[in-house]
């Protein structure tokens, strides 16, 4: 009897790993299919608002003239206007189509060079306006027809503040961080 017990104790128990391996090998292609190769993010773009909605807001702000910040992306730079007045326009003129407010950072670069725009200067301008109008978050964006989407997105980044991290704030409903300027772009067509 004692000999039999000893024999049982010595018997090596081996786990059958094959079913586990089968599951693991099935999991690998399934996970590869759902894998995130590049981290995706979203920029929420508001459709253009109607005049009636804009008037409703005016009542709350005790007749304070809204900023109405507009940025028009041209092939030779940015045209920035606020409160219906283009910055850098000649005296007495609302707009001046002959020259941009913020010229290109690199004048000789081709149109497909997305870094030729002066994003830093635009961001500085957005910061100035934000200091004057701390409650404003929207900006109207428009561009010439040949302007590539990457430039539009880069412009949105500059206007929002390139260090602005608003994702978590939007989810939790907290106040946006101080380094977020105009993070709600409205894309308009042909609003030069």
Partner 1 sequence: MTPEQQAFQAKKKAKAAARRNKEEEEAKLGMTSLMDIVSIIVIYLLKSYASDPVVINPTAGQKIPMSQADAGLSDGMPIFVTPQGVTFQDKKLVTLTPDGDIDPGMVENHLVGPLYDAMAEEVDKAKQMAENQNREWEGNLIVVGDQRLKFSTLVDIMYTAGRAEFSNYTFCVIRRSG
**Under the rule (CB under 8 A), what is the footprint of partner 1?**
17-18, 20-21, 24-25, 27-28, 31-32, 34-36, 38-47, 73, 112, 114, 143-150, 152-154, 156-157, 160, 162-168, 170, 187, 189
Tokens linked to 7: 């024999």
Shortest distance (Å) from residue 159 CB to partner 1: 11
Residue closer to partner 1 (CB basis): 42 or 132? 42
Which residue shows structure tokens 């608003």? 166
Residue closer to partner 1 (CB basis): 19 or 92? 19
- CB count, 10 Å around CB of 78? 24
Shortest distance (Å) from residue 39 CB to partner 1: 4
Which residue shows structure tokens 């010439």? 144
Pairing of strands 138-143, 70-74: parallel
Residue closer to partner 1 (CB basis): 64 or 124? 124
Residue closer to partner 1 (CB basis): 75 or 87? 75
C-alpha torsion 142→82→165→162, nearest 10: 70
Shortest distance (Å) from residue 26 CB to partner 1: 10
Task: Specify the DSSP element, H or E, that contains 140.
Answer: strand 138-143
For residues 108 and 113, what is the distance between their CA atoms, to the nearest angstrom?
10
Shortest distance (Å) from residue 91 CB to partner 1: 31
């Amino acid at each position: 009897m004692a000999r039999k017990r000893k024999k049982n104790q010595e018997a090596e128990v081996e786990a059958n790993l094959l079913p586990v391996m089968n599951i693991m090998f099935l999991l690998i292609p399934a996970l590869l299919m759902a894998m995130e190769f590049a981290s995706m993010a979203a920029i929420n773009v508001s459709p253009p608002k109607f005049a009636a909605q804009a008037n409703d807001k005016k009542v709350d702000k005790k007749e304070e003239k809204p900023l109405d910040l507009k940025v028009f992306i041209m092939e030779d730079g940015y045209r920035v206007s606020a409160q219906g007045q283009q910055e850098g326009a000649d005296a007495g003129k609302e707009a001046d189509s002959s020259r941009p407010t913020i010229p290109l950072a690199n004048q000789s670069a081709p149109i497909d060079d997305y870094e030729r725009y002066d994003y830093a200067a635009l961001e500085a301008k957005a910061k100035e306006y934000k200091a004057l109008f701390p409650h404003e978050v929207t900006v109207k964006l428009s561009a010439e027809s040949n302007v590539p989407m990457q430039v539009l997105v880069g412009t949105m980044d500059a206007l929002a503040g390139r260090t602005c991290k608003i994702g978590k704030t939007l989810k939790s409903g907290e106040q946006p961080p101080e380094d977020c300027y105009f993070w709600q772009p409205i894309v308009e067509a042909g609003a030069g």
